[in-house]
């Protein structure tokens, strides 16, 4: 077998390879440009990472893979793919870090990164242990008792542990890019949930910053420097108000100062993180050391009691009513606080006179057995005195005024659920490790191990501290929130060794550092959400300084943080951020449960110790804790998240992240489709499932956009909508045009707010394409039952693509398929969705009953704003033998049972002679039809003549080849072998027949059947025009096409005459089944 070779010189090969290389470089640049768009994350664009950037220059060298040569552009070699995966940097693209340029960043990435201990364990430890441990845990133990405090802490720690297990499963299911928790939630639950939960997480982090700043000020003004207060206490009872005002002033100053620090240099915050962590660890060690020391040498912190009431030692130093010196009895400063003079016979407070002053040790030690006294709760009302149980006391008169007396009062009302809300922020911070996923050496190993170890460690610290505080400290000291009974010392500090200042200074720096880190992390989280582009109104916060610093996001964060500071009470701010964090954790558990139950092929976490039941329990626990903390805060937080969700759903950018909610929707859709019966639904469930047939022009744009407007106006039925169109040609050739047409149709559907699906069919024949759509559109039980199309206005033009033949065949096919048909005539005059009819009528001409479609359609239209103010009128035609009065009564009763409000009118049509006008119109119609047939014959004759000339000129050279080429070129023509004699005979024959045919046209008489049909059309049109010429819409029964196909063009003429003179007409042809019922 001979083989042909093409010899190419070596230089030419080199030039050709160079040209190919340049072309590939240009393609690579184009790919990189393409990746710069969208949400800015190139990893999302393909199943693999950066596969579009793979070098292609070396792929074609070598002959081993020549068989796959043409696929290399889209499918890279495995070796190249693995090389790219190995060099994957895990850093967000397009963001230049604030402290390093790109070169140094690359060097840093290639160097050794952080492991589990430094990268995950310590950051989680620092974020979890914080302000609540030092400022509120002792008060929670004293108020709720050891047992209930243990329950509170155990619930919160169990919640975070279950969330950490779910988070570990999500974090190990593939590479987690820098972006942490928000990235995991949004990519697992989709943009709607991701945006809502991401913003809630942002608000929680911002309010956490406010809480840490308030804690810093409380430590400063209460324990370090009380004299620094700007607002002094003038009268008794104003201590709380003065403290709140001081917090507002100092808090505003500190938040501005911290914002400047974050704006100027984040690297200092990061470098100081280790210092702040060291403060936390040293403080906790000091607490444990102090507990051990109490076993053999308890510290000396005496408490002064009057009866069983605790006294504040800020105003006196000697715990006695009077002292004796030199055999002389003198009253003490305490006496002056309760009596009107320093004399022994002065008038004193009734309770002061009846009870003795005693002094007990505030920290009796771990071996003292005080634990049994602190086991049970001691909840109290706001303003009540802190009292010691089992201490003898004589009640005084209730009228005694206690406002200015030196008792220790409770500042807020306490109860179990409130304490849960205050405590929960102390267990947040479990996301700190996942937020640093970009800096970890092996994130899939470090995040689960480090996070779970950190939660286990902190849970042990909290639970052990509850027992130790209850076993070492007297109950009245535990309930003394601000340490007034121990000279204004921090209660935890009294237990610490070697000095209370270790805890005070450690907790001060710890809260400062936590506040700075919140103000550093929250703006970056908001910037990540803004750059994803899913929430349009926050996109401005995606911008920042040239080095990537989120300036605008920082300003918003400071503003929201200021709101928390103006609240000024740490106990009021804590439940707010508890809501947002609990909501975030709840959705992490939901994401893991959904992914596990769906069993999607891509769900393959490396962390194996998870189960959907654990995630479900975690989710339920988060939801329960939200309502336990504060049911109204929980409802507000859920309302905020719901509003953000709906906003993203309607206004946000469309993102396809392969999330679990999309998978859940697919499973639910599959389940529902299998449940829906394939047969026709019950009449009560019937609604128009529309197949809308659109016409496209040469630019693949929709010719009649108002058809989609009318579709959306009909969708009060909430049924299925499939928008279909046909392109003529071969699919392989029309692939690009198909995609373009689909994009144009979907864009128009978005503008017209038509919710549904788009289906473009390519067919060699336009007629067959329509047939394919009618037969195959839809899926299972979700198939269309109604076809909506526009009337072919130019049907009389022979060259019209959608000619009358296609239209009539479509009518026949819908009838055969038992589908209803709606034909909108003068569709361009129909209203848009923005128009409103303030008056007018929708007129229904009910000629024959075809299932009730004519009744149902006006009802559905009037649900839409466009047609809402139109009134419905129903006309029916009475013949000679009908009782029109009885017909009207029956129709009114029928409409009453259908629950439809409409005006009824019966129109009488009496039989009369066929007019000359009708006879003449029928004759003209048939003459035109006959003339078109003769013209078609003449056209065929001309084509045959051209074919003969072609045969004659090419036959001597290559007869067989010419015959074949003619057969290919004109496949639809009749193939004949012509001779000159045959052609002349055929020509004379056709000429004679044509002449006689044209003579017959002017001598013909109209068909009597056609005359009768024309008479009906003319007569009915006159009646309709008389009653409904000014109606906003006229609905008419559409007569069926003739059984004899030869009269199809006459059928079009009948319809044209029937609707002549009407502006907006909807021709309705029912499917033959009932679509409306009087029964419930």
pLDDT at 860 over 90: no
For 226-240, 367-381, 967-981, which range has the lowest pLDDT when averaged over its residues?
967-981
Whole-angstrom Cα distance, residue 92 to residue 44? 12
Query: pTM for the complete prediction?
Result: 0.68
How many Cα atoms sit within 13 Å of 542 on the Cβ side?
16
Q: Which helix (H) or strand (E) holds 330?
A: strand 328-331
pLDDT at 507 over 80: yes
pLDDT at 548 over 60: yes
Strands 1033-1037 and 690-693, bridge-based pairing: unpaired
- Residues forming beta bridges with residue 877, ordered by sequence position: 907
Say whether 875 sits in a helix, a strand or coil.
Answer: strand
Say whether 881 sits in a helix, a strand or coil.
Answer: coil
Query: Position of tokens 């007129």?
Result: 843
Whole-angstrom Cα distance, residue 417 to residue 633? 12
Residue pair 1071/820 in contact by the 8 Å Cβ criterion? yes
Whole-angstrom Cα distance, residue 659 to residue 204? 24
**Residues ≥6 apart with Cβ < 8 Å to 770:** 693, 726, 806, 809, 810, 813
- Residues 834-848 have a mean pLDDT of 87
Say whether 689 sits in a helix, a strand or coil.
Answer: coil
**Residues ≥6 apart with Cβ < 8 Å to 939:** none
Whole-angstrom Cα distance, residue 461 to residue 288? 10
pLDDT at 587 over 70: yes
Buried b (16+ CB within 10 A) or exposed e, 679-714: eeeeeeebbbbbbbbbbbeeebebebbbbbbbbbbb
Residue pair 375/143 in contact by the 8 Å Cβ criterion? no
For 107-121, 343-357, 634-648, 710-724, which range has the lowest pLDDT when averaged over its residues?
107-121
Question: What band does 500 get if pLDDT is binned at 50, 70 and 90?
Answer: confident
Question: What band does 452 get if pLDDT is binned at 50, 70 and 90?
Answer: very high
Sheet of 721-728: strands edge to edge? Answer: 757-763, 721-728, 690-693, 786-790, 820-825, 1065-1069, 1033-1037, 841-846, 871-878, 903-908
Whole-angstrom Cα distance, residue 478 to residue 828? 80
pLDDT at 588 over 70: yes
- Residues forming beta bridges with residue 759, ordered by sequence position: 724
Which candidate, 731, 730, 727, places its Cα nearest to that of 741? Answer: 727
Whether cis (ω within 30° of 0) applies to the bond prior to 498 is: yes
Whole-angstrom Cα distance, residue 386 to residue 1028? 86
**Residues ≥6 apart with Cβ < 8 Å to 1012:** 914
Question: What's the mean per-residue pLDDT of the chain?
Answer: 78
**Could you give the dihedral angle defined by the CA atoms of residues 899, 903, 908 and 914, in that order, rounded to the nearest 10 degrees?**
-100
According to the model, what pLDDT value does residue 974 have? Answer: 44
pLDDT at 35 over 70: no
How many Cα atoms sit within 13 Å of 1068 on the Cβ side?
26
DSSP string of 716-754?
Answer: GG---EEEEEEEES-HHHHHHHHHHHHHHHHHHHHHTT-
How many Cα atoms sit within 13 Å of 157 on the Cβ side?
20
pLDDT at 975 over 50: no
CA dihedral for 475, 476, 482, 486, sign (positive or negative): negative
pLDDT at 126 over 90: no
Ranges 173-177, 620-624, 829-833, 942-946, most confident: 620-624
According to the model, what pLDDT value does residue 58 have? Answer: 45
Q: Quickly count: other Cβ atoms within 10 Å of residue 733's Cβ.
A: 10
- The full 3-state SS of 202-226, as one line of letters, equals HHHHHHHHHHHHHHHHHHHHHHHCH
Residue 1067 is classified by DSSP as E
Whole-angstrom Cα distance, residue 117 to residue 129? 16
Residue 339 is classified by DSSP as B
pLDDT at 258 over 70: yes
Whole-angstrom Cα distance, residue 581 to residue 430? 10
Burial class (CB in 10 A: 0-12, 13-18, 19+), 151: middle
| Residue 452 tokens, joined | 């779970």
- pLDDT single digits (tens) 307-344: 888 998 887 888 888 888 777 888 888 888 888 888 88
Question: What band does 966 get if pLDDT is binned at 50, 70 and 90?
Answer: very low
Sheet of 357-361: strands edge to edge? Answer: 309-310, 302-306, 357-361
DSSP string of 840-855?
Answer: -EEEEEE-S-SSSHHH
SS3 of the chain: helix, strand, coil, percent, to 5: 60, 10, 35
Strands (E), 391-466: none
According to the model, what pLDDT value does residue 933 have? Answer: 57
For 19-33, 422-436, 530-544, which range has the lowest pLDDT when averaged over its residues?
19-33
According to the model, what pLDDT value does residue 57 have? Answer: 43
Which candidate, 583, 564, 636, places its Cα nearest to that of 211? Answer: 564
**Residues ≥6 apart with Cβ < 8 Å to 236:** 403, 404
- The full 3-state SS of 534-559, as one line of letters, equals CCHHHHHHHCCCCCCCCHHHHHHHHH
- Residues 986-993 have a mean pLDDT of 53
Ranges 83-87, 404-408, 507-511, most confident: 507-511
Main-chain dihedrals φ then ψ at residue 630, nearest 5 degrees: -170, 110
Residue pair 792/770 in contact by the 8 Å Cβ criterion? no
- pLDDT single digits (tens) 155-175: 999 999 999 999 899 888 877
């Amino acid at each position: 077998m001979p083989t042909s070779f093409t010899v190419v010189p070596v230089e030419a090969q080199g030039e050709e390879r160079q040209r190919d290389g340049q072309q590939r470089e240009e393609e690579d640049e184009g790919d990189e440009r393409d990746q710069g768009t969208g949400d800015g994350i190139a990893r999302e664009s393909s199943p693999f990472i950066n596969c579009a950037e793979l070098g292609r220059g070396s792929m074609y060298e070598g002959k081993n893979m020549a068989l796959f040569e043409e696929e290399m552009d889209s499918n890279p070699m495995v070796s190249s793919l693995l090389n790219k995966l190995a060099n994957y940097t895990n850093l967000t693209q397009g963001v230049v870090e604030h402290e390093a340029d790109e070169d140094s960043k690359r060097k840093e990435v290639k160097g050794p990164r952080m492991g589990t201990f430094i990268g995950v364990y310590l950051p989680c430890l620092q974020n979890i242990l914080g302000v609540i441990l030092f400022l509120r845990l002792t008060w929670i133990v004293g108020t709720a008792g050891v047992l209930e405090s243990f329950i509170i802490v155990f619930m919160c720690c169990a919640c975070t542990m279950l969330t950490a297990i779910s988070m570990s499963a999500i974090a190990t299911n593939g590479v987690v890019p820098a972006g942490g928790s928000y990235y995991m939630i949004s990519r697992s639950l989709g943009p709607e949930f991701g945006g809502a939960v991401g913003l809630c997480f942002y608000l929680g982090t911002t309010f956490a910053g406010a809480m840490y700043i308030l804690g810093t000020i409380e430590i400063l003004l209460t324990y370090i420097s009380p004299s620094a207060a700007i607002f002094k206490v003038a009268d008794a009872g104003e201590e709380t108000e003065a403290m709140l005002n001081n917090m507002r002033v100092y808090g505003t100053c500190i938040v501005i100062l911290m914002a400047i620090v974050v704006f100027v240099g984040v690297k200092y915050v990061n470098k100081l993180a280790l210092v702040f962590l060291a403060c936390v660890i040293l403080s906790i060690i000091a607490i444990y050391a102090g507990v051990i020391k109490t076993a053999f040498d308890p510290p000396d912190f005496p408490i002064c009691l009057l009866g069983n009431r605790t006294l504040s030692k800020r105003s006196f130093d000697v715990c006695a009513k009077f002292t004796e010196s030199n055999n002389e009895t003198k009253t003490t400063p305490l006496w002056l606080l309760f009596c009107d003079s320093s004399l022994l016979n002065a008038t004193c407070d009734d309770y002061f006179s009846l009870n003795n002053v005693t002094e007990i040790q505030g920290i009796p030690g771990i071996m003292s057995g005080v634990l049994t006294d602190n086991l049970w709760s001691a909840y109290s009302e706001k303003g009540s005195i802190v009292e010691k149980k089992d201490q003898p006391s004589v009640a005084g008169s209730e009228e005694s005024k206690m406002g200015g007396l030196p008792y220790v009062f409770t500042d807020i009302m306490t109860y179990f659920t409130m304490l849960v809300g205050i405590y929960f922020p102390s267990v947040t911070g479990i996301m700190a490790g996942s937020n640093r996923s970009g800096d970890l050496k092996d994130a899939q190993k470090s995040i689960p191990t480090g996070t779970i170890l950190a939660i286990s460690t902190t849970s042990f610290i909290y639970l052990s501290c509850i027992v130790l505080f209850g076993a070492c400290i007297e109950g009245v000291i535990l309930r003394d929130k601000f340490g007034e009974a121990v000279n204004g010392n921090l209660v935890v500090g009294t237990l610490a060794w070697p000095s209370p200042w270790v805890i005070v200074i450690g907790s001060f720096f710890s809260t400062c550092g936590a506040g700075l880190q919140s103000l550093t992390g929250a703006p970056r989280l908001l910037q990540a959400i803004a750059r994803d582009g899913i929430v349009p109104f926050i996109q401005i916060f995606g911008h920042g300084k040239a080095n990537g610093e989120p300036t605008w996001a920082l300003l918003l964060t400071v503003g929201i943080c200021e709101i928390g500071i103006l609240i000024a009470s740490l106990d009021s701010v804590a439940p707010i951020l508890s809501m947002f964090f609990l909501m975030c954790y709840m959705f992490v558990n939901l994401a893991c449960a959904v992914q596990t139950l769906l069993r999607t092929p891509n769900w393959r976490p490396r962390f194996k110790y998870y189960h959907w039941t654990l995630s479900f329990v975690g989710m339920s626990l988060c939801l329960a804790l939200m309502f336990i903390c504060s049911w109204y805060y929980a409802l507000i937080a859920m309302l905020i998240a719901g509003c953000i969700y709906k906003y993203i759903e309607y206004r946000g950018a469309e993102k396809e992240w392969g999330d679990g909610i999309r998978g859940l929707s697919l499973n639910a859709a599959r389940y529902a489709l299998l449940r829906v019966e394939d047969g026709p639904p019950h009449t009560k469930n019937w609604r128009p499932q529309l197949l809308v047939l659109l016409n496209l022009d040469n630019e693949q744009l929709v010719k009649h956009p108002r058809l989609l407007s009318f579709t959306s106006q009909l969708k009060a039925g909430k049924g299925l909508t499939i928008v279909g169109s046909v392109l003529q040609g071969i699919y392989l050739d029309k692939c690009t045009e198909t995609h373009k047409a689909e994009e144009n149709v979907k864009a128009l559907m978005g503008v017209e707010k038509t919710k549904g699906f788009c289906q473009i069919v390519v067919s060699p024949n336009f007629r067959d394409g329509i047939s394919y759509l009618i037969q195959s559109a839809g899926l299972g039980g979700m198939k269309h039952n109604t076809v909506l199309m526009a009337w072919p206005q130019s049907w009389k033009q022979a060259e019209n693509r959608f000619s009358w033949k296609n239209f009539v065949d479509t009518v026949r096919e819908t009838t055969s398929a038992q589908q209803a048909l709606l034909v909108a005539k003068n569709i361009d005059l129909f209203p848009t969705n923005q128009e409103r009819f303030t008056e007018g009528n929708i007129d229904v001409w009910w000629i024959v009953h075809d299932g009730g479609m004519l009744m149902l359609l006006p009802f559905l239209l009037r649900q839409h704003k466009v047609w809402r103010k139109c009134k419905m009128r129903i006309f029916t035609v009475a013949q000679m033998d009908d009782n029109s009065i009885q017909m009207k009564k029956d129709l009114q009763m029928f409409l009453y049972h259908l629950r439809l409000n409409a005006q009824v009118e019966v129109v009488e049509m009496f039989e009369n002679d066929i007019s000359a006008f009708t006879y003449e119109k029928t004759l003209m119609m048939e003459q035109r039809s006959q003339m078109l047939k003769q013209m078609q014959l003449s056209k065929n004759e001309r084509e045959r003549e051209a074919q003969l000339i072609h045969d004659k000129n090419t036959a001597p050279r290559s007869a067989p080849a010419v015959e074949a080429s003619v057969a290919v070129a004109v496949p639809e023509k009749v193939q004949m072998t012509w001779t000159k004699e045959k052609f002349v005979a055929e020509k004379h024959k056709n000429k004679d027949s044509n002449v006689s045919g044209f003579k017959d046209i002017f001598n013909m008489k109209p068909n009597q059947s056609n005359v009768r049909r024309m008479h009906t059309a003319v007569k009915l049109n006159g009646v309709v025009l008389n009653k409904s010429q000014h109606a906003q819409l006229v609905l008419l029964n559409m007569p069926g096409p003739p059984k004899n196909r030869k009269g199809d063009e006459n059928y079009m003429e009948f319809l044209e005459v029937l609707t002549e003179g009407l502006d907006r007409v909807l021709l309705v042809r029912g499917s033959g089944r009932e679509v409306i019922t009087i029964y419930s």
